[in-house]
Amino acid sequence: MLYERIIRPLLFILSPERAHNFTLGCLSFLRSIPLGRQMTRLFFSKKAPSLNREVFGIDFPNPIGLAGGLDKNGEHYNSLSDLGFAFVEIGSLTTEAQKGNPSPRLWRLPKDQALVNHMGINNKGIINAIEHIREDRPRCILVGNISKRTTAKTEGEIKADYIKAFSLIYDFVDMVVVNVSCPNVEGLTSLQDVSYLSSFMDPILDRRMIQEERKPVLVKISPDLENEQVDAIIEYCRRNGVDGLVAGNTTRKRENLSTPPQKLAEVGSGGLSGAPLYERSLSLVKYIHEKTGGSLPVIGCGGIMTPAQAMEMLDSGASLVEVYTGFIYHGPSFVKKILRAILKRQKEEAAALKGSPRRPERRIKRDPSPTVEETPSTDAGRLPEPVAPSIPAAPAQTPEEGNQN
């Protein structure tokens, strides 16, 4: 409540990009002061064994991650993980630094709890990220998101760009996400066509085969794809060993928004994220899960603004989920709220299971006759057979006291 009533209104006075940089600067400052990191984790992280899940052969301490785009340069992953994220996706990263599109290139749509960005994959390049990773060892599961440079136009240039980016980042992250769905780079979304996708994914997967350690490789797809396109990507992934999909990215569509049309015209055609994207992202996750029978893991990403939506995304087939705009609008406690909601439901389900009525045990009434002696049995669970009263034998013999097994 403090964030939404006081801190967010102050941050929203600043331009979105300036507020973004200011927030990351504050996180870095907290890490630099004594006990700053410990206090951050104390207030904002949440751990419990029941939150753990294994996906892609990796043990995730919880199912909530930070989507690509916030830590563009791979410089703040540890500070962000202190806020409760199990994994942080850095990037998108390109083989060389690039400035992206001119400002203004990031807008808020508060009436819709949304953002529109036209950033153009601005970043300092993969080498800068690698240097930072070497200096500041990741204390979380680190995911490297790679993309082509905006200057790579031909099929040969695009192929070389992705292969080089993959080769550079592979040894420094736990997973690699190949971004082919950003709507803010000319021609990038067309790479989702399998004929293009295979031209650089095939050599990327071949490169992975010769590495000492096999790490997961995923493809990040757009929520604007038609089902037939999704089917083709699923088939390619299953046939060629792609480990999973990130579903999805921002959307170019502007449906059912409360923001005035003149504001939308001013913003332009950038990628929209936030609350209006949720149903589209949820449908995509459900479709992939049902189409594959759960055999192809999916990271659900797009429009998660409440703990209930995060849980619904997981229930609908997402192995993990990522948040971004929900984190911007609801602040640093957002992840902890989601994890508390998951734990609460787990406790309720356990209590319901424990309190469910049990079938009464069947009792067998035994013969109460005092004249019948019961024979001990070594067979557990079997009632001993009744034995007739002992009959005196000849004087030279002792009476038989019972039937011994």
pLDDT of 82-96, one tens digit each?
A: 999 999 999 999 999
Q: Quote the radius of gyration of the chain (alpha carbons, Å).
A: 30
pLDDT of residue 358: 61
Mean pLDDT across the chain, nearest whole number? 90
pLDDT of residue 185: 82
Coil, strand or helix: which one is 59?
A: strand
Residue ranges of the chain with per-residue pLDDT less than 70: 356-405
Q: What is the CATH number of domain 2-350?
A: 3.20.20.70
Domain assignments of the chain as residue spans, ordered by start? 2-350
pLDDT of residue 345: 97
pLDDT of residue 368: 52
| DSSP letters spanning 60-88 | ESSSEEEPTTSSTTSSSHHHHHTTT-SEE
Check if the beta carbon of residue 27 is closer than 8 Å to that of residue 84.
no
* Count of beta carbons in the 10 Å neighbourhood of residue 155: 13
pLDDT of residue 190: 84
pLDDT of residue 359: 57
* Count of beta carbons in the 10 Å neighbourhood of residue 208: 19
pLDDT of residue 405: 42
pLDDT of residue 363: 54
pLDDT, one tens digit per residue, over 279-327 is: 999 999 999 999 999 999 999 999 999 999 999 999 999 999 999 999 9
pLDDT of residue 403: 42
pLDDT of residue 228: 96
CA distance 328 to 334: 9
Name residues whose C-beta falls within 8 Å of residue 403's C-beta, 6 or more positions apart in sequence.
375, 385, 387
Q: What does pTM read for this prediction?
A: 0.86
